[in-house]
Structure 1
Amino acid sequence: MSKVPLTVVGAEMLRQELHNLKTVERPSVINAISEARAQGDLSENAEYDAAKERQGFVEGRIQELEFKLGSAQVIDPKTINAEGRVVFAATVVLEDTKSGDEVTYQIVGDDEADIKKRKISISSPIARALIGKYAGDIAEVQAPGGVREYEVVEVQYI
């Protein structure tokens, strides 16, 4: 079984979702199925069908989250000693070499990636290009519009 990398924040986010599914969603679905059964004929009961479909989704997501959390390698960026190298969970300040624009990203697991929060997935092209680089290095990223170059301005473990 391979380890799934997660930051401390990402692991907590998945734990909260799992808790919500088990304590709120699952009982709600069971109640909906019970109410739909009470209406009688199940062969033409749309509420019953919808509740059973929802139950399948909830149970599947619970299994998925339990697997991910069970195989998670939780990494706290504050405890990393990568000596200035870009690694998983690092926050990286980049400068586009053409435009001079600066952006800051944190490299996170697939489940916690959110570009609006400046969190990019470890499996994204930009993160793969950055891994192993140091401040001052140039990373070439294959973007839809062609190759883009970014200079690593700063690497932080926050």
Structure 2
Amino acid sequence: MSRGFVRESDQEELSIVPPRADLPSGLVNYVTDIGYQELLLERDNMIYERDNLFIPDENEKRITINFINAKLNLLSNRISTAKIVIPSKQPKSKVCFGAEVFFSVDLDPQINNYKIVGVDEANIAKGKIAFNSPVAKIMIDKKVGDIAILKLENTEKTFKIISIRY
């Protein structure tokens, strides 16, 4: 039936599904083994939530199920395109995906650290940055003692690699 012949009160409001973390087209969806397990757990939790909904209003329940299914479709795409990289199998002498990098910025003696992970794993509050972030990109392939330069609009930041851990 054409939507033109449906009562206005019967039309469902389309849910806006927030996108997952940005993964530009053509970029490989690298994940750590831990990140992959987190994606699977997220999927299982969504399925459990969907299958155990208790919403008495059938219309609201259908809208909620459709929303969860849309989020599951995005997540399933990430899972199916994931390429697992085992950090412990990376070369120990240089910064690669999965590395925890210890560094100083400019002349500040404070040591900072980030772990380079997949886009869905990235969480700056937990010290995890995505492999396609500007900071991770300048550090990839660097060795202990190397300098990585991040060019900003009006200045540059220099990152000195202090140590690398997998």
Q: TM-score range by the shorter chain?
A: 0.7 to 0.9
Secondary structure of the residue that 1:92 maps to in structure 2? strand
Give distance in 2, aligned partners of 1:111 and 1:4: 9
Match for 1:36 among 54, 57, 78?
57
Give distance in 2, aligned partners of 1:128 and 1:52: 43
Structure 2 counterpart of 1:66 = 76
Q: Deviations over 1:32-53 (max 9, x none)?
A: 2xx213xxxxxxxxxx34x444
Question: Which ranges in structure 2 are unaligned for 5 or more consecutive residues?
Answer: 1-25
Alpha-carbon shift at residue 83 of structure 1 (Å): 4.2
Which aligned runs of 4 or more in structure 1 are off by greater than 6 angstroms?
none
For the aligned residue pairs, the C-alpha RMSD in angstroms reads 1.9
Q: TM-score, normalised by structure 2?
A: 0.77
Match for 1:27 among 48, 51, 59?
51
Sequence identity percentage? 26
Structure 2 counterpart of 1:57 = 67
Q: TM-score, normalised by structure 1?
A: 0.80
Give distance in 1, aligned partners of 2:80 and 2:150: 33
CA contact (8 A) 1:2 1:71 kept: no
CA contact (8 A) 2:92 2:165 kept: no
Structure 1 counterpart of 2:3 = none
Question: Which ranges in structure 1 are unaligned for 5 or more consecutive residues?
Answer: 38-47
Give distance in 2, aligned partners of 1:3 and 1:64: 16
